[in-house]
Amino acid sequence: MKTIVVASHNPVKARAVLEGFQRMFPQQVFELRSVAADSQVSDQPFSDEETQRGAANRAMAASRLEPTADYWVGIEGGIEVHAAEMAAYAWVVILGRDLAGKSRTGTFYLPPQVAVLIHQGIELGEADDIVFGRSNSKQENGAIGLLTGDVIDRVQLYEHAVILALVPFKNPGLYS
């Protein structure tokens, strides 16, 4: 059995990681562990570079906390402003013993009411809860689920990026 350590106690991230690994390696059995790991970036990263660094920092921290695991995964959500509109996405970084993989989720644009709150210093999850009258939506369907009526939820958004970040592990001869 292979052990995966996800650098988050958020059940959405844990589920996305496990489902992504199971889809890429259906014959393998996985044990998933969650640890709290600091991103060492802003609570709400405001650039692609900062967001990717946060995911990498989380994965590295998880590897230090659980050094006997087989894989360590960091996921970090971020935003960027493009021509006065605010885009949201996340980075996934997966570390293994000999390989690493990374990928970014799809990008979507936030409603102006949410963007205004983020510009005031409120994190995306809290801004969503305020605008949509929810509580702790980031541990459920997230902004993407709220905006698409759950056609795509946060697990699905992250799972796709987990699968893409696993490409080097699926094809080690091409990436070693």
- Tokens encoding 100: 């690493």
Taking alpha carbons only, the member of 120, 108, 90, 92 closest to residue 146 is 108
Q: What is the CA radius of gyration of the chain?
A: 16
Task: Give the pLDDT band of residue 139 (cuts 50, 70, 90).
Answer: confident
What integer is the mean pLDDT of 38-44? 90
CB 92 within 8 A of CB 24: no
pTM for the whole thing? Answer: 0.92
Q: Give residue 145's identity as a one-letter amino acid code.
A: G
Q: If you count them, how many residues does the chain have?
A: 176
Residue 149: partners with Cβ closer than 8 Å, 6 or more residues away: none
Give dist(CA 87, CA 109) in Å, integer. 4
Q: Which residues pair with 94 in a beta bridge?
A: 73, 101
Query: According to the CATH classification, is domain 2-107+153-175 in 3.90.950.10?
Result: yes
pLDDT in tens, 83-115: 889 999 999 999 999 999 999 999 999 999 999
What integer is the mean pLDDT of 134-161? 88
Residue 94, H or E segment: strand 85-96
Give dist(CA 61, CA 126) in Å, integer. 25
Mean pLDDT, the chain, whole residue set = 94
Q: Give residue 44's identity as a one-letter amino acid code.
A: Q
pLDDT in tens, 63-86: 999 999 999 999 999 999 988 899
Tell me which of 6-10, 146-150, 155-159, 166-170 is least confident. 146-150
Q: Is 80 exposed, middle or buried (0-12, 13-18, 19+ CB in 10 A)?
A: middle
Model confidence at 146: pLDDT above 90: no
CB 101 within 8 A of CB 166: yes
Identify the sign of the CA torsion 106, 110, 116, 118: negative
Looking at residue 2, what is its pLDDT? 97
Task: Give the pLDDT band of residue 176 (cuts 50, 70, 90).
Answer: confident
Taking alpha carbons only, the member of 82, 126, 77 closest to residue 106 is 77
Higher model confidence: residue 150 or residue 161?
A: 161
The full set of domain ranges for the chain reads: 2-107+153-175
Looking at residue 54, what is its pLDDT? 97
